Structure formats: structure tokens, C-alpha cells
Amino acid sequence: MARLFQFFLTLVTTSVRSRLSLQAENAALRNQLSLYQKSRKRPRIRPTDRLLWCLLAKFWTGWRAALYFVQPRTVTTWQKKRFRDYWCALSKSAKPGRPRISRELRMLIVQMWETNPTWGSPKIVAEFAMLGIEVAKSTVEKYQPTRPRPSSPTWRTFLDQHVRNLVSIDFFIVPTATFRVLFVFIVLAHDRRRIVHFNVTEHPTAQWTAQQIVEAFPFDTAPSYLIRDGDGIYGERVTRRIESLGIDEVITAPASPWQNAYVERVIGTLRRELFDHVIVFNERHLKRRLSSYLEYYHPWRTHQSLNSDAPDGRPVRAAESCNVVELPAVHGLHHVYLPKVA
């Protein structure tokens, strides 16, 4: 520090000296520097010397010509090190890591995992979002109980935007406890992933299928396009009925279920979240179970493709993690979470 003070004191005193005196002193100093450069002993450079030359390099354009004891790039390196040390100290000042979550929230996450075996971490995150609680997906997965559960594929977006006035139809089978096979016919609207109609039969025919399409779109609710596969059950009678409703029929290519991905996805959801966990006794029991699931599916089940919203639209109800009520749905297979009413 004394060297830095001495330098500024010398700078002030030399400002009032004569030009001849300054030139003589400059020549003497240069002579001493030439002798110093010939010596083998390396000078000891202190932090104040580094700070001085960093300041000179910033405010004096001719500092390179007056520098002898080190190279100019050394002064530049000092300045870069000061800049790096400054920002390194700033980055270490804040407390690292995420803030800890409350004990009540951890217990609620574990409870959701245990009482909903078919749910994944995105579904639980969406449920918390509907309760006004922001929690990361990694935090939910951190408190997942270690228990075997079937893996489920992730949701993929097949279209860049929602296609309005577009529906899909398809059949899928459900075996019963008495080894009968029941056929379930569903009609899915693409815009909100709503199942607008379903019915069950043991012997599907073209006439029965055509009647289901009419019942699915009463009055002027028919869409513009209908997507189906090339199954033989869709005969000429079904085609005429679709045309009479003013609907353009789109038939997918053979063995290409990905071309009718929306309805294939909802069929997979029905199997994973309902029919893989219940035993169907007869046609009446199947209709009752499916109706019970749709009462939960439309107003409560969240979809990633709908920005974590339900098909019927589900408002966000703000709640604290310790003030949440769990209500069973679909005979206890799923659950609904709502804020507790005071």
C-alpha cells in the first residue's frame, strides 16, 4: 500500500517541476532500469503493484511503453483474474440448492403415490397445480415409494395444435368373468379429449354401429371429419349414415394404428386405469363401471396435452399442503383432491 501511495505522491509533485528536471530524472531512471534488466534476480511483485498497473492500463493509453519489469499481457492476465475472482465471490454468496419443502407436503406426496398406484409423477404434479401448490417433478419422484408398479409410456403430442371438428371411432374388447367377450364402441372428440358416446354389445353389426353414430351426434352437433380404421364391421350402411350426417370419412391405412392415435391412446388409458384392475361380470356391469370412470375422467382427470387440465375444464383451487381433502373416485381406484372447506 505504501508503494501505491508513494506513486500518487510522486505524480502530484512532478506536475509542478520543470521539463528539464523531469527529462533528467527520466534518463536516470531508464539507465537504472537497463542495469536492473541485466541482473538475474527476479523482483518481488506485491498485490498493490498489480492493482496499480491494472488502474494504469485502464486510464492511461501509454502504459505499455512505460512497462519494463513484466510483459503487457501479464497485466492483462491480472485484470482477467480480478474479474474472475469478483464474480466467483458473488456466485458463492447465495445459499445453494432448492428451498426445503414442508413436512406436510412430503407426507401428501407419499400419500398420493400410495393411494393411486396407476398414477405417474406428471399426474401428481398436475394435481398439485390444480390445488395451487407448485412442486417440481423431480421432487415428486424423490419421495416415490420403492414398490413395483407397471411402467407406462409417456404422452406424445401427435399434432402441433388441437384439431376442432374432428372425432375418432373405434372398438375394443373386454373379457368377462364367464369367458365372454364384450365389444365397447367409443366416439372421441379430439379438441378436449372427450368421450362423447360409448356403448357395449356382444354381437356388433353394421346396423348397430350406424345407430351409435346417430346417437352420438344428435341435431346439428355432427363434426366435419371422422377418422376410423378399415375394420369390416364398418360396412356400406355405416358409410351411408356418416354421409347423411354431412361428415367426411377418413379411413386409416391397414395396420397403422398411429394414424388414429387419439382414440388408441384413450383406449390404452381405459385399460391401464380401469379394466386392468377390475373383473367384468356382464354387459350391465361393464356399462356401470365405464360410466363411473367417465364421471371421474371428464371433470377431474388431467391431461398433459390440455396443459394439465381436465376435458370439461377444471378450475384451480388454491390450498395449503396441510389443508387438502382426499375423496375416492371410481370405487376407490382413483382419488380427487380438493381444499378443505373451513
pLDDT in tens, 37-84: 655 566 677 777 777 777 777 777 777 767 767 778 888 888 888 888
Same domain, 196 and 272: yes
Number of other residues whose CB lies within 10 A of the CB of residue 199: 19
pLDDT by residue (tens digit) across 150-173? 555 443 444 545 467 889 999 999
Query: How many CB atoms are located within 10 Å of the residue 5 CB?
Result: 10
Judgement on whether residues 170 and 293 belong to the same structural domain of the protein? yes
Mean pLDDT of 280-287: 95
Q: Is 92 exposed, middle or buried (0-12, 13-18, 19+ CB in 10 A)?
A: exposed
Are residues 190 and 130 part of one domain?
A: no
Q: Which domain holds residue 73?
A: 2-91
- The total domain count for the chain is 3
pLDDT of residue 8: 62
Any domain includes 158: no
Q: Is the pLDDT of residue 315 over 60?
A: yes
40, three cell numbers: 538475474
The residue from 67, 91, 115 where one domain ends is 91
Read off the pTM.
0.58
In a domain, 281, yes or no: yes
On the question of pLDDT at 86 being above 60, the answer is: yes
pLDDT of residue 200: 96
In a domain, 6, yes or no: yes
Per-residue pLDDT at 297 exceeds 70: yes
- Quick: pLDDT tens for 184-219: 999 999 888 999 999 999 999 999 999 999 999 988
**pLDDT digit string, tens, across residues 87-134:** 887 777 556 666 778 888 989 999 999 889 888 899 999 999 999 888
174 and 240 share a domain? yes
> What are the E-state strand segments in the chain?
166-175, 181-189, 194-201, 225-228, 248-251, 324-329, 334-339
In a domain, residue 322? The reply is: yes
Q: Give the whole-angstrom CA distance, residue 342 versus residue 337.
A: 15
Please, are residues 266 and 193 in contact by the beta-carbon 8 Å criterion? yes
Cα atoms in the Cβ-side hemisphere of radius 13 Å centred on 153: 8
Does 2 score more than 70 pLDDT? no
Q: Are 191 and 164 in contact (CB under 8 A)?
A: yes
